[in-house]
Structure 1
Amino acid sequence: MASILVLSGSPSTASRTAALADHLAVRLRGQGHQVRTVRVRELPADALLSADTTHPKVAEVVAAVGDADGIVVASPVYKAAYSGLLKALLDLLPQFALTGKVVLPLVTGGSPAHVLAVDYALRPVLSSLGAHHVVQGWFVLDKHITSANDGVTLEPDAERPLYEVVDGFSTVLHDRRPLVTTP
Protein backbone atom coordinates (compact mmCIF):
# COMPACT_ATOMS: atom_id res chain seq x y z
CA MET A 1 0.00 0.00 0.00
CA ALA A 2 1.44 3.33 -1.06
CA SER A 3 1.21 6.43 1.09
CA ILE A 4 0.00 9.58 -0.64
CA LEU A 5 0.11 13.17 0.56
CA VAL A 6 -2.37 15.55 -1.04
CA LEU A 7 -1.25 19.19 -0.83
CA SER A 8 -4.11 21.59 -1.43
CA GLY A 9 -2.72 25.03 -2.21
CA SER A 10 -5.86 27.15 -2.35
CA PRO A 11 -5.99 30.18 -0.05
CA SER A 12 -9.80 30.28 -0.20
CA THR A 13 -12.00 29.00 2.63
CA ALA A 14 -14.67 27.90 0.13
CA SER A 15 -12.36 26.31 -2.40
CA ARG A 16 -13.36 24.10 -5.31
CA THR A 17 -9.71 23.09 -5.56
CA ALA A 18 -9.68 21.86 -1.95
CA ALA A 19 -13.03 20.12 -2.41
CA LEU A 20 -11.72 18.40 -5.56
CA ALA A 21 -8.52 17.38 -3.74
CA ASP A 22 -10.59 15.85 -0.92
CA HIS A 23 -12.78 14.07 -3.48
CA LEU A 24 -9.73 12.57 -5.20
CA ALA A 25 -8.27 11.55 -1.84
CA VAL A 26 -11.39 9.45 -1.23
CA ARG A 27 -10.99 7.85 -4.66
CA LEU A 28 -7.33 7.03 -3.97
CA ARG A 29 -8.19 5.53 -0.57
CA GLY A 30 -10.71 3.33 -2.36
CA GLN A 31 -7.85 2.07 -4.52
CA GLY A 32 -5.96 0.86 -1.48
CA HIS A 33 -3.69 3.80 -0.68
CA GLN A 34 -3.09 5.53 2.63
CA VAL A 35 -3.95 9.17 1.96
CA ARG A 36 -3.40 12.28 4.03
CA THR A 37 -4.57 15.74 2.92
CA VAL A 38 -2.93 18.99 3.95
CA ARG A 39 -4.66 22.29 3.26
CA VAL A 40 -1.74 24.69 3.10
CA ARG A 41 -4.04 27.58 4.10
CA GLU A 42 -4.36 25.96 7.54
CA LEU A 43 -0.62 26.21 8.21
CA PRO A 44 0.52 29.23 10.22
CA ALA A 45 1.03 32.15 7.82
CA ASP A 46 3.83 33.66 9.87
CA ALA A 47 5.81 30.41 9.68
CA LEU A 48 5.27 30.10 5.92
CA LEU A 49 6.16 33.71 5.18
CA SER A 50 9.22 33.76 7.42
CA ALA A 51 10.40 30.35 6.13
CA ASP A 52 10.33 28.90 9.64
CA THR A 53 10.89 25.21 8.98
CA THR A 54 11.27 24.64 12.72
CA HIS A 55 7.62 25.52 13.39
CA PRO A 56 6.02 22.22 14.46
CA LYS A 57 3.16 22.39 11.92
CA VAL A 58 5.52 23.18 9.04
CA ALA A 59 8.05 20.58 10.17
CA GLU A 60 5.24 18.02 10.30
CA VAL A 61 4.28 18.71 6.66
CA VAL A 62 7.92 18.62 5.52
CA ALA A 63 8.29 15.24 7.25
CA ALA A 64 5.04 14.01 5.65
CA VAL A 65 6.43 14.92 2.22
CA GLY A 66 9.53 12.91 3.03
CA ASP A 67 7.51 9.89 4.16
CA ALA A 68 5.07 9.81 1.23
CA ASP A 69 5.44 7.59 -1.83
CA GLY A 70 3.21 9.84 -3.91
CA ILE A 71 2.25 13.50 -3.79
CA VAL A 72 -0.79 15.16 -5.32
CA VAL A 73 -0.18 18.90 -5.69
CA ALA A 74 -3.42 20.79 -6.24
CA SER A 75 -3.71 24.51 -6.83
CA PRO A 76 -5.97 27.09 -8.39
CA VAL A 77 -4.43 29.21 -11.15
CA TYR A 78 -3.63 32.83 -10.35
CA LYS A 79 -1.87 35.05 -12.90
CA ALA A 80 -1.06 32.01 -15.09
CA ALA A 81 0.67 30.11 -12.28
CA TYR A 82 -0.05 28.10 -9.15
CA SER A 83 -0.97 29.93 -5.94
CA GLY A 84 1.53 31.96 -3.96
CA LEU A 85 0.43 30.04 -0.88
CA LEU A 86 1.56 26.78 -2.48
CA LYS A 87 4.79 28.47 -3.59
CA ALA A 88 5.49 29.52 0.00
CA LEU A 89 5.27 25.88 1.10
CA LEU A 90 7.26 24.49 -1.83
CA ASP A 91 10.00 27.05 -1.09
CA LEU A 92 10.37 25.59 2.42
CA LEU A 93 10.98 22.05 1.22
CA PRO A 94 14.54 20.75 1.04
CA GLN A 95 16.16 21.01 -2.40
CA PHE A 96 15.44 17.41 -3.36
CA ALA A 97 12.36 16.79 -1.21
CA LEU A 98 10.54 14.95 -3.99
CA THR A 99 13.35 12.54 -4.84
CA GLY A 100 11.88 9.08 -5.25
CA LYS A 101 8.31 10.39 -5.29
CA VAL A 102 5.59 10.00 -7.89
CA VAL A 103 3.84 13.35 -8.27
CA LEU A 104 0.48 14.32 -9.77
CA PRO A 105 0.04 18.04 -10.55
CA LEU A 106 -3.59 19.16 -10.53
CA VAL A 107 -4.70 22.69 -11.38
CA THR A 108 -8.10 24.36 -11.42
CA GLY A 109 -9.01 27.62 -13.10
CA GLY A 110 -11.72 29.76 -14.58
CA SER A 111 -10.65 29.64 -18.21
CA PRO A 112 -9.11 27.12 -20.62
CA ALA A 113 -6.48 29.82 -21.25
CA HIS A 114 -4.83 28.67 -18.00
CA VAL A 115 -4.35 25.03 -18.97
CA LEU A 116 -0.64 25.56 -19.63
CA ALA A 117 -0.05 26.39 -15.97
CA VAL A 118 0.24 22.66 -15.30
CA ASP A 119 3.19 22.11 -17.62
CA TYR A 120 4.82 25.53 -17.73
CA ALA A 121 4.48 26.72 -14.12
CA LEU A 122 3.98 23.75 -11.78
CA ARG A 123 5.74 20.81 -13.46
CA PRO A 124 9.18 22.51 -13.66
CA VAL A 125 9.13 23.27 -9.92
CA LEU A 126 8.15 19.71 -9.07
CA SER A 127 10.91 18.37 -11.31
CA SER A 128 13.47 20.72 -9.77
CA LEU A 129 12.55 19.31 -6.36
CA GLY A 130 13.76 15.93 -7.63
CA ALA A 131 10.47 14.16 -8.35
CA HIS A 132 11.14 10.65 -9.63
CA HIS A 133 8.11 10.67 -11.89
CA VAL A 134 5.78 13.58 -12.52
CA VAL A 135 2.79 11.86 -14.12
CA GLN A 136 0.45 13.48 -16.60
CA GLY A 137 -1.04 16.48 -14.81
CA TRP A 138 -4.55 17.75 -15.26
CA PHE A 139 -6.47 21.02 -15.47
CA VAL A 140 -10.13 21.26 -14.42
CA LEU A 141 -12.34 24.24 -15.15
CA ASP A 142 -13.93 25.68 -12.00
CA LYS A 143 -17.36 25.61 -13.61
CA HIS A 144 -17.06 21.81 -13.98
CA ILE A 145 -16.76 21.36 -10.19
CA THR A 146 -19.80 21.61 -7.94
CA SER A 147 -19.12 21.38 -4.24
CA ALA A 148 -21.87 20.82 -1.70
CA ASN A 149 -22.23 19.36 1.79
CA ASP A 150 -22.72 15.90 0.31
CA GLY A 151 -19.48 16.04 -1.69
CA VAL A 152 -18.22 17.01 -5.12
CA THR A 153 -19.95 16.55 -8.43
CA LEU A 154 -18.00 16.86 -11.66
CA GLU A 155 -19.34 17.52 -15.12
CA PRO A 156 -19.23 14.17 -16.99
CA ASP A 157 -16.90 15.56 -19.68
CA ALA A 158 -14.45 16.64 -16.96
CA GLU A 159 -14.86 13.61 -14.72
CA ARG A 160 -13.79 10.85 -17.13
CA PRO A 161 -10.40 12.27 -18.18
CA LEU A 162 -9.61 13.44 -14.63
CA TYR A 163 -10.28 9.97 -13.24
CA GLU A 164 -8.12 8.44 -15.98
CA VAL A 165 -5.20 10.64 -14.88
CA VAL A 166 -5.77 9.94 -11.17
CA ASP A 167 -6.14 6.21 -11.78
CA GLY A 168 -2.93 6.28 -13.84
CA PHE A 169 -1.15 7.91 -10.90
CA SER A 170 -2.55 5.19 -8.64
CA THR A 171 -1.37 2.47 -11.01
CA VAL A 172 2.16 3.90 -11.13
CA LEU A 173 2.25 3.81 -7.32
CA HIS A 174 0.91 0.24 -7.19
CA ASP A 175 3.42 -0.94 -9.81
CA ARG A 176 6.34 0.98 -8.41
CA ARG A 177 9.44 -0.87 -7.40
CA PRO A 178 11.69 0.49 -4.66
CA LEU A 179 14.40 2.75 -6.10
CA VAL A 180 17.00 1.56 -3.62
CA THR A 181 17.17 -1.88 -2.09
CA THR A 182 19.07 -2.73 1.04
CA PRO A 183 20.59 -6.17 1.64
Structure 2
Amino acid sequence: MTKPSKPLVVGLSGNITTPSKTRALVATTLNLVADRLDIETDLFEINDFGPSLGPARRLDDLAPEARAKVARLLSADALVIATPIYKASYPGLFKHLIDLLDPTALTGRPVLLAATGGGEKHALAVEHQLRPLLAFFEAQSLGTAVHASDKDFTDGALTGPATLDRLARAVTQFDAFFPAHLRLARAAAE
Protein backbone atom coordinates (compact mmCIF):
# COMPACT_ATOMS: atom_id res chain seq x y z
CA MET A 1 0.00 0.00 0.00
CA THR A 2 1.40 3.38 -0.98
CA LYS A 3 1.75 6.08 1.61
CA PRO A 4 -0.48 9.12 1.01
CA SER A 5 1.25 12.37 0.05
CA LYS A 6 -0.19 14.04 3.15
CA PRO A 7 -0.05 12.56 6.64
CA LEU A 8 -2.93 10.20 7.27
CA VAL A 9 -5.21 10.14 10.30
CA VAL A 10 -7.55 7.14 10.42
CA GLY A 11 -10.60 6.86 12.61
CA LEU A 12 -11.89 3.51 13.83
CA SER A 13 -15.44 3.27 15.12
CA GLY A 14 -15.96 0.16 17.20
CA ASN A 15 -19.70 0.10 16.58
CA ILE A 16 -21.44 -2.48 14.41
CA THR A 17 -24.60 -0.49 13.73
CA THR A 18 -25.11 2.22 11.15
CA PRO A 19 -25.81 5.01 11.75
CA SER A 20 -24.17 5.21 15.14
CA LYS A 21 -23.23 7.84 17.69
CA THR A 22 -19.73 6.39 17.78
CA ARG A 23 -19.30 6.95 14.05
CA ALA A 24 -20.61 10.51 14.48
CA LEU A 25 -18.05 11.09 17.25
CA VAL A 26 -15.20 9.75 15.08
CA ALA A 27 -16.34 11.74 12.03
CA THR A 28 -16.58 14.94 14.10
CA THR A 29 -13.11 14.30 15.48
CA LEU A 30 -11.61 13.70 12.04
CA ASN A 31 -13.26 16.89 10.77
CA LEU A 32 -11.74 18.86 13.66
CA VAL A 33 -8.30 17.38 12.95
CA ALA A 34 -8.63 18.17 9.22
CA ASP A 35 -9.69 21.75 10.08
CA ARG A 36 -6.50 22.07 12.10
CA LEU A 37 -3.88 20.16 10.11
CA ASP A 38 -3.16 19.63 6.42
CA ILE A 39 -3.81 15.89 6.46
CA GLU A 40 -5.80 13.14 4.81
CA THR A 41 -8.43 11.25 6.81
CA ASP A 42 -10.25 7.96 6.55
CA LEU A 43 -12.89 6.33 8.74
CA PHE A 44 -13.66 2.65 9.24
CA GLU A 45 -16.39 0.96 11.22
CA ILE A 46 -16.15 -2.62 12.44
CA ASN A 47 -18.68 -3.71 9.80
CA ASP A 48 -16.33 -2.41 7.08
CA PHE A 49 -14.05 -5.37 7.81
CA GLY A 50 -16.79 -7.74 6.64
CA PRO A 51 -17.87 -11.23 7.61
CA SER A 52 -14.33 -12.65 7.57
CA LEU A 53 -13.48 -10.69 10.75
CA GLY A 54 -15.44 -12.84 13.20
CA PRO A 55 -13.85 -16.22 12.39
CA ALA A 56 -10.36 -14.81 11.67
CA ARG A 57 -7.60 -16.13 13.91
CA ARG A 58 -4.91 -13.98 12.29
CA LEU A 59 -4.77 -11.15 9.76
CA ASP A 60 -4.11 -13.56 6.90
CA ASP A 61 -7.53 -15.11 7.54
CA LEU A 62 -9.27 -11.85 6.62
CA ALA A 63 -10.73 -11.32 3.17
CA PRO A 64 -8.47 -9.24 0.89
CA GLU A 65 -10.71 -6.17 1.25
CA ALA A 66 -10.53 -6.39 5.03
CA ARG A 67 -6.75 -6.87 4.96
CA ALA A 68 -6.48 -3.74 2.79
CA LYS A 69 -8.45 -1.77 5.39
CA VAL A 70 -6.22 -3.05 8.19
CA ALA A 71 -3.17 -2.07 6.12
CA ARG A 72 -4.61 1.43 5.68
CA LEU A 73 -5.28 1.63 9.42
CA LEU A 74 -1.74 0.53 10.22
CA SER A 75 -0.22 2.97 7.70
CA ALA A 76 -1.82 5.93 9.49
CA ASP A 77 0.38 8.56 11.08
CA ALA A 78 -2.21 8.97 13.85
CA LEU A 79 -5.44 7.31 14.91
CA VAL A 80 -8.79 8.20 16.41
CA ILE A 81 -10.17 5.12 18.14
CA ALA A 82 -13.67 5.23 19.55
CA THR A 83 -16.00 2.53 20.71
CA PRO A 84 -19.41 2.24 22.24
CA ILE A 85 -19.38 1.09 25.83
CA TYR A 86 -21.72 -1.74 26.76
CA LYS A 87 -21.81 -2.98 30.34
CA ALA A 88 -18.61 -1.08 31.20
CA SER A 89 -16.48 -2.31 28.27
CA TYR A 90 -16.00 -2.26 24.51
CA PRO A 91 -17.72 -4.76 22.18
CA GLY A 92 -16.08 -8.12 21.57
CA LEU A 93 -15.77 -7.74 17.79
CA PHE A 94 -13.89 -4.46 18.27
CA LYS A 95 -11.48 -6.18 20.67
CA HIS A 96 -11.18 -9.11 18.26
CA LEU A 97 -9.95 -6.79 15.50
CA ILE A 98 -7.42 -5.25 17.88
CA ASP A 99 -6.33 -8.76 18.97
CA LEU A 100 -5.36 -9.57 15.38
CA LEU A 101 -2.78 -6.77 15.30
CA ASP A 102 0.89 -7.40 15.92
CA PRO A 103 1.87 -6.10 19.39
CA THR A 104 4.36 -3.66 17.78
CA ALA A 105 1.94 -2.40 15.10
CA LEU A 106 1.02 0.82 16.93
CA THR A 107 4.25 1.57 18.77
CA GLY A 108 4.71 5.32 19.12
CA ARG A 109 1.55 6.13 17.15
CA PRO A 110 -0.50 9.04 18.54
CA VAL A 111 -4.06 7.96 19.33
CA LEU A 112 -7.03 10.01 20.44
CA LEU A 113 -9.24 7.78 22.59
CA ALA A 114 -12.99 8.23 22.71
CA ALA A 115 -16.14 6.37 23.59
CA THR A 116 -19.89 6.67 23.57
CA GLY A 117 -22.30 5.39 26.17
CA GLY A 118 -25.90 5.74 27.22
CA GLY A 119 -24.97 7.89 30.20
CA GLU A 120 -22.14 9.19 32.32
CA LYS A 121 -21.97 5.87 34.14
CA HIS A 122 -19.68 4.61 31.37
CA ALA A 123 -17.36 7.64 31.16
CA LEU A 124 -14.42 6.04 32.97
CA ALA A 125 -14.38 3.06 30.61
CA VAL A 126 -12.17 5.13 28.33
CA GLU A 127 -9.55 5.31 31.08
CA HIS A 128 -10.02 1.79 32.45
CA GLN A 129 -10.56 -0.11 29.20
CA LEU A 130 -9.19 1.75 26.16
CA ARG A 131 -6.12 3.44 27.64
CA PRO A 132 -4.61 0.17 29.01
CA LEU A 133 -5.40 -1.60 25.73
CA LEU A 134 -3.48 0.99 23.71
CA ALA A 135 -0.70 1.09 26.31
CA PHE A 136 -0.12 -2.61 25.62
CA PHE A 137 0.64 -1.63 22.02
CA GLU A 138 2.92 1.18 23.24
CA ALA A 139 0.82 3.71 21.34
CA GLN A 140 0.98 7.33 22.45
CA SER A 141 -2.52 7.90 23.76
CA LEU A 142 -3.27 11.60 23.91
CA GLY A 143 -3.68 12.95 27.42
CA THR A 144 -7.28 14.04 26.89
CA ALA A 145 -9.81 11.32 26.13
CA VAL A 146 -13.44 11.97 25.27
CA HIS A 147 -16.65 10.29 26.36
CA ALA A 148 -19.97 11.29 24.80
CA SER A 149 -23.31 10.17 26.20
CA ASP A 150 -26.76 10.16 24.64
CA LYS A 151 -27.45 13.70 25.87
CA ASP A 152 -24.53 14.97 23.72
CA PHE A 153 -26.27 14.06 20.45
CA THR A 154 -29.14 15.65 18.56
CA ASP A 155 -30.54 13.77 15.57
CA GLY A 156 -27.34 11.70 15.37
CA ALA A 157 -24.97 14.68 15.40
CA LEU A 158 -22.59 15.49 18.24
CA THR A 159 -23.90 18.76 19.71
CA GLY A 160 -23.06 18.73 23.44
CA PRO A 161 -21.07 21.93 24.07
CA ALA A 162 -18.93 20.54 26.90
CA THR A 163 -18.08 17.41 24.91
CA LEU A 164 -17.29 19.44 21.79
CA ASP A 165 -15.01 21.69 23.86
CA ARG A 166 -13.21 18.68 25.33
CA LEU A 167 -12.90 17.13 21.87
CA ALA A 168 -11.42 20.37 20.48
CA ARG A 169 -8.85 20.39 23.31
CA ALA A 170 -7.97 16.76 22.64
CA VAL A 171 -7.47 17.39 18.94
CA THR A 172 -4.89 20.13 19.66
CA GLN A 173 -2.74 17.47 21.31
CA PHE A 174 -2.02 16.00 17.86
CA ASP A 175 0.06 19.13 17.13
CA ALA A 176 3.04 17.73 19.02
CA PHE A 177 3.21 14.80 16.60
CA PHE A 178 3.04 16.73 13.32
CA PRO A 179 5.48 19.29 11.88
CA ALA A 180 4.47 22.94 12.36
CA HIS A 181 4.22 23.52 8.60
CA LEU A 182 1.15 21.23 8.52
CA ARG A 183 -0.85 23.53 10.82
CA LEU A 184 -3.49 25.39 8.87
CA ALA A 185 -3.74 29.18 9.14
CA ARG A 186 -6.62 29.15 11.65
CA ALA A 187 -4.82 26.67 13.92
CA ALA A 188 -1.52 28.54 13.59
CA ALA A 189 -3.22 31.76 14.74
CA GLU A 190 -4.25 30.20 18.09
Q: Give the structure-2-normalised TM-score.
A: 0.82
Corresponding residue SS for 1:47: coil
Q: Give unpaired runs (5+ residues) of structure 1.
A: 177-183
Q: What are the superposed Cα offsets for residues 26-76 of structure 1, whole Å, 9 maximum, x if unpaired?
A: 221222221111111221133333235222123213312331111110111
Q: 1:179 matched to which residue of 2?
A: none
Task: Please list the CA deviations of residues 85-134 of structure 1 after superposition, one character each: whole Å capped at 9, or x if unmatched.
Answer: 21121011111111120011101111211111111111111111121x11
Identity %: 30
Aligned equivalents of 1:43, 1:173: Cα separation in 2: 28
Is residue 65–residue 97 contact of structure 1 (8 Å, CA) maintained in 2?
no
**Match for 1:33 among 39, 43, 48?**
39
* C-alpha distance in 1 between matches for 2:163 and 2:108: 30
Matching residue of 1:155: 160
From 106, 113, 125, give the equivalent of 2:121: 113
Amino acid at match of 1:134: S
Over aligned residue pairs, what C-alpha RMSD do you find? 1.9
Residues 53 and 97 in structure 2, CA contact (< 8 A), matched pair in contact too: no
Counterpart check, 1:143 vs 2:147: no
- TM-superposed CA distance for 1:153, in Å, is 4.1
Q: Aligned residue for 2:28?
A: 23
Name the CA shift for 1:52/1:116 in 2 (closer, same or farther; >3 Å).
Answer: same
Shift of 1:175: 4.7
2:154 and 2:55 map into 1 onto residues whose CA distance is 31
Alpha-carbon distance in 2 for matches of 1:3, 1:11:
24
The DSSP-based 3-state class of the residue aligned with 2:54 is: helix
Aligned residue identity for 1:5: V
Aligned equivalents of 1:62 and 1:153: distance in 2? 27
Question: Is 1:103–1:134's contact at 8 Å kept on the other side of the alignment?
Answer: yes
Aligned to 2:53: 47
1:98 partnered with 2:103: no
SS at match of 2:10: strand
In the alignment of these two chains, the number of paired residues is 171
Equivalent in the alignment of 1:73: 81
User: Structure 2 CA distance, aligned partners of 1:111 and 1:168?
Assistant: 26
Give the strand-richer structure, 1 or 2.
1
SS in 2 for 1:10: coil
Matched, 1:59 2:67: yes
Judged with a 3 Å threshold, the aligned counterparts in structure 2 of structure 1 residues 137 and 56 are, in CA distance, closer, same or farther, namely same
